[in-house]
Every structure is written in C-alpha cells, then in structure tokens.
Structure 1
Amino acid sequence: MNLAWDPPFFIPLLIAIFLTYLCSKNQLVQISALGSLWNGFLVFLQLALLLIYTVDQPFWIALPTFLLFIGIELTRLIGGRRLTSLTNELNVFAEQREHFNETFRIVRSERHEFLKHVSSIHFMLENNQNAEAKNYLNELVSGYEETNLSIKGERGVVAGVLHQMYRRAQKAGISIVYDLDIPLSSLPLSDKKVVTLVGNLLSNSIDACEEWQRHYQKQAQISLQFYKRSGLNLLICKNHSLPIPTSILDELFQTYGKTTKSGSHEGLGTKLIQDIVDENQGFLDFIYKEEEFTVKIKIPAIR
C-alpha cells in the first residue's frame, strides 16, 4: 500500500544523513578505527541501499531499507568504539608491563650496587673523611628515596605507575610529593582499576603543570595524598593549572571529550576516573581556585 503523499527520494536521504550525524556526534571514537577495508565495504552497502530511493518504491519496501541504512551506520560506529576500547586496553596493559619491568630493573640495580656504596662509605670513615662520607650518603639516600616513595607497600603494577609518574614529573622539572599514609594498593579495587584511577589523575596533573610552567616560567607542584578515615579511603590530588573555562568544568568528569588540555587530547581520562568512582559507590568532588586544581575522591573501604 503506497502512501497518499509520496515524498521525493532525497528527503529520506537527508533524514538518514541527519540521524547518522547525531549518532556519530555522541560516539566516543571515530569510525576510522575499523580501517579502510571494512569502512569501504559498509559504505558500499549503504550506497547500494540509497539507490533504491532513486526509483518509485512502496512504503513497505522503502522504510525497512531506510532502517537498514541506519542499522549499518550504527554497527560501524559501535564496532569502531568497541575496537578502539580493546586497542586502548591493550596499549594500557603494555604500558603497565613496561612500567613494572622498569621499576623492577631499578630495584635490582640499586640492590646490586648497595654493597659497593657501603664499602665506599666504610673506606671514607676509616680514613677520617667524614664530610665526604656524609655528602656521599646524602646523595645515596636522595636517589633511594625516589624509588622508595613508589614501591613502599605497593603491589607491582601500582608501584610501577607511581614510579613512572614520579620520574616523568621530575624530568619535567615539576615538584611532586606522595603523602601516602597507607599503600594505594589497599584500595578495594583491582590492580587494573587502581592503575587507571591513579595513572589518569597523575597524568592529567603533570600535563596541566607542564602548561602552567611554560606560561609562567616557574616550577609547578603536584601533591598526592591518600589516607583512611571513618571507613572511607580518601584520595586527594592537587596541582597547578591554568584557568579552565566554566563550560569545561561543568562537564569535566561527566562526559567523554571534555579536557582541560590543549592539543589533540581526547578527554577520556576524567570520565574513566568518574566511572571507577561510581562503580565502587564512591564520591568525587573537584575545586579550581587561584590556579590550583584539586580532586578529592572518597571510596568506601569495603572489598
């Protein structure tokens, strides 16, 4: 049965394009994740379906064809999003493994050299070189402090990400302080979630501090605090930051694509942080005041 009014073929085409645009606008990733081969194949199917509208067709044929066109586009977008998610997880796993291996290598190296350092200090003391021994010991303790801050009581992958972020901040000339009453590994989360949570917090802080330092030509600061009070795990991260537009602050931890950083950043980290907090019945609050950005996370201390 035909409609009383038979619309021109380009009207469904415009509707299809508009709906496709709305779908793609709300997606996390670009459709290019599927690659040119699969995208080309799906586009070919869609073009074939559009050819149906060039001829006069009854409504009961035109409508399913139109819905099939939209279905193909949704499949492409959702498939691209899933593929990108898996790729990102694989990259994160590879990065975590690299951090863990690097931390383990440093610990082994320090352990291997420890007796040599003790022998050197012993020789200096025997020869009444007290000042030289003191300076040498201060340098030695300073070097060990960096590793100790990261691995003290932490499980392997968590220690790895803490150590990597500490070294990254030091390399950028940023002052970074870990004030951890208890190990971050004691959070009631899997190692993967702890690494994602802490890694994104510190990575965002370092990025913001780097921009702040370039603007003011002064040293920026980061502090990460973690302690337990009244059955709650409290994680607080503070860092210097350039002014953040209100439009970004309003949705910073709520949607993908919102970022305080310039360049090609995708704005994934803040939403991933919020998702982990929500999954564990936690609470997240943040404050930006006088060019200091503070994130406070509360997670019930229940496994």
Structure 2
Amino acid sequence: MSTSSMYWRAFAAFVFLHLHVIGGEWFPFYVSLILAGIIAYYFHKKVLVEIESLGWQVNTSLTMVQVIVVLLSYFGMDALVVSVVFFIIFVVLEYLRLSLGRNMSEKKRELLQHREQRQHINETFRVVRGERHDFLKHVSAVHFMLENNEANDAKRYLDELVENYEETNYSIKGERGVVAGVLHQMYRRAKAADISIVYDLDVPLSTLPIRDQKMVELVGNLLGNALDACEEYQLKRGEQALVSLQFYKRSGLFILICKNSTLPVPVDVLDSLFYTYGKTTKSGEHEGLGTKLIKDIVTDHQGFLDFVCKDGEFTLNIKVPAIK
C-alpha cells in the first residue's frame, strides 16, 4: 500500500471520529462515516501527499499528537465548543504536515534538478568542445578527398558529418545553458531508444518568460512524458514512435506544441490528466505528477493548456502571453 493511500485512510478515520464526537447527538454514526469518506475523497483528488520527506520521526510525532487530540475530544469534556476546537487543531496539524512535506519535497526536487542540470550542461559542453576540436580534422579529410577527385566520398562523408552535428545544433541553437542541456539530453535519449524526434523551433525556447528552474521542469516533464509514452508504444506496437516539439510566437503569444505517439488512453484518465495528481497515461510505477506540474507552471504564468488524444497521437498545446 502506498504512503498516500495509507495517509488518506488514516485521515478519513480521524475525521470520522471527530465528526462522530461533534454530531453524535444529532445524527447517527453512519452519517459521520459517509461525510468522512466524502471529505477524504475530495481532498485526495485535490491535494498532493508528499510526507515521506519529513521522515518517520516527524510523521510519528504528529500522528501521536493527533491520537491524543482525538482521545481528548472523545473522552474529554462534552461541550460542543471544545470538540470543535479539537477538530480545528486536527485540521491545522494536518495542514502543517502536508505543507511541510510539500516544501521539503520541493527542496529535494530542486537539489536533484540542479545536479541533473549541471550534468546535462557539462555533457553538452563536452560534446560541443569535442566537435569543435575535431572540426579541422574533418575539413582536412574532405579537402583531401576533393584533391583526389573523390567527390562522391566527400559528399557521403559530409552527409554523415552534418547528421551528427544536427543532434547538437537542434539543442543549443540560441538556448540558455540549462534549456540547451535538457533539450540535448532528451534528444540523445530519443535516439538511444530509436524514437524519431524533431525540434521545430522558430525562436529559442529560452525566450519564454519563465525562469530557468521552471523552464527545466516544464520542458523536462513535457519531453520526458512524451518519450515514456513512445517507449511503451514501441514496446507494445513494434512500430517506431515519433516526438515533435514546435515553438513559435504569434500575436503576442508563445505557442508550444508537443506531439507524441501513444497507446489508447482511458477516458477517465484523460478527463483529469492535467487537473489532479496521481493520473498518468503510463503503466507501471508512475506517480502521475508530471502532467499536473506542467499545468501548474502554465497557469502560474497566465498561460493556457489544452490537449487532444486521437488516432494514436497525443497533442499538447500550450499558449503563454509574451509578457516579461
């Protein structure tokens, strides 16, 4: 059983006990049970639980306090006001637990992200430096072939050389270091998995009015989710998958379009894919956080998001106002 499932079961039990104490004189216990279930289900859909980062000591301490609060409410004074106060204390403690858990998890994600960014930038720099170092050697080789009237061999050599340079050029052209690093890493991942990937960027992605950290989250989740879906598509269909990323500016709007091959997605997943946590188009052990994080970043920057999943292709459209 996942931590999230355990938490919401315990949450529902605590809510039930508090409601039963408060309303025991006016309605039977099964009404409190139903209300507790409804409340827990609602918050389960709206709130992300990331309390693992607090550690077992903090979580155990908070749980013990919650148990004491319930016992005081259940066996303490009969006054309704006192029971309501205990319920408010319970709500405040849970709010603190969830808030602290989210903050700690966010800090850990940022630290991990910074490490990955550094690795991606270093790898991109290493590739560019290597290509620059070998450039004169390639020119000399082509020059030698042409001097010896080996035009066809020279053309074939240049074609292979340009194809290799395209991989790096797609990623770094006009981009800031962190964005170039993510694009380059995703491009290499696609090529390693034999996934066809195309970057069609009229203007650099770095021109989006989003700070670097959120840009890395946006692009990383966008392409990461697309590649995950493509890998599963290739595994089960036996056909080459495709990812395309388009970016351009029109009428004061930045428009970002990501398309990828996908297996059929259940309608209930699509309906809440970008609006609640825990929904994912992928099978296996996936938390379903990426799509909601994308939605949050777009919304925080006054943007708009919509998507279409049809005929084996998932298309995500993002529009962000061109406002600094």
Is 1:220 the counterpart of 2:229 in the alignment? no
Q: 1:160 to 1:64 in 2, by over 3 A?
A: same
The residue that corresponds to 2:54 in the other structure is 34
Q: Distance in 2 between matches of 1:130 and 1:124?
A: 7
Residue by residue, what CA displacement relative to the aligned partner does 1:74-101 show, whole Å, maximum 9, x if unpaired?
3222221221122122222221222111
Q: Give the residue type in structure 1 aligned to 2:149.
A: N
2:275 to 239, 254, 259: 254
1:64 to 85, 98, 102: 85
Q: Structure 1 residues 139-148 or 65-74, which shifts more? A: 65-74
Is 1:179 the counterpart of 2:179 in the alignment? no
Q: Distance in 2 between matches of 1:42 and 1:232?
A: 47
SS in 1 for 2:174: coil
Shift of 1:23: 8.0
1:48 to 29, 48, 68: 68
The residue that corresponds to 1:116 in the other structure is 137
Q: Distance in 1 between matches of 2:76 and 2:298?
A: 55
The residue that corresponds to 2:25 in the other structure is none
Q: Give the residue type in structure 2 aligned to 1:71.
A: V
Q: Distance in 1 between matches of 2:84 and 2:193?
A: 58
SS in 1 for 2:229: helix
The residue that corresponds to 1:12 in the other structure is 21
Aligned partners of 2:18 and 2:87 also within 8 Å: no
Q: Give the residue type in structure 2 aligned to 1:276.
A: I
Q: 1:180 to 1:9 in 2, by over 3 A?
A: closer
1:80 to 101, 104, 115: 101
Tell me the TM-score normalized by structure 2.
0.82
- What stretches of structure 2 of length at least 5 have no aligned partner? 1-16, 23-28
Shift of 1:56: 5.0
Q: Give the residue type in structure 2 aligned to 1:42.
A: L
2:156 to 123, 135, 139: 135
Is 1:203 the counterpart of 2:220 in the alignment? no
Identity of aligned residues (%): 56
Shift of 1:263: 1.7
The residue that corresponds to 2:147 in the other structure is 126
SS in 2 for 1:74: helix
Q: Give the residue type in structure 2 aligned to 1:277.
A: V
Tell me the TM-score normalized by structure 1.
0.87
Q: How many residues align?
A: 296
Q: Give the residue type in structure 2 aligned to 1:216.
A: R
Q: 1:125 to 1:181 in 2, by over 3 A?
A: same
Shift of 1:10: 10
Shift of 1:54: 6.6
Shift of 1:210: 0.9
Aligned partners of 2:73 and 2:82 also within 8 Å: no
1:148 to 146, 149, 169: 169
Q: Give the residue type in structure 1 aligned to 2:217.
A: T
Is 1:236 the counterpart of 2:236 in the alignment? no
Aligned partners of 2:21 and 2:74 also within 8 Å: no
2:292 to 251, 267, 271: 271
Q: Distance in 1 between matches of 2:95 and 2:142?
A: 68
Q: Structure 1 residues 86-95 or 18-27, which shifts more? A: 18-27
Measured on the aligned residues, the alpha-carbon RMSD in Å equals 2.6
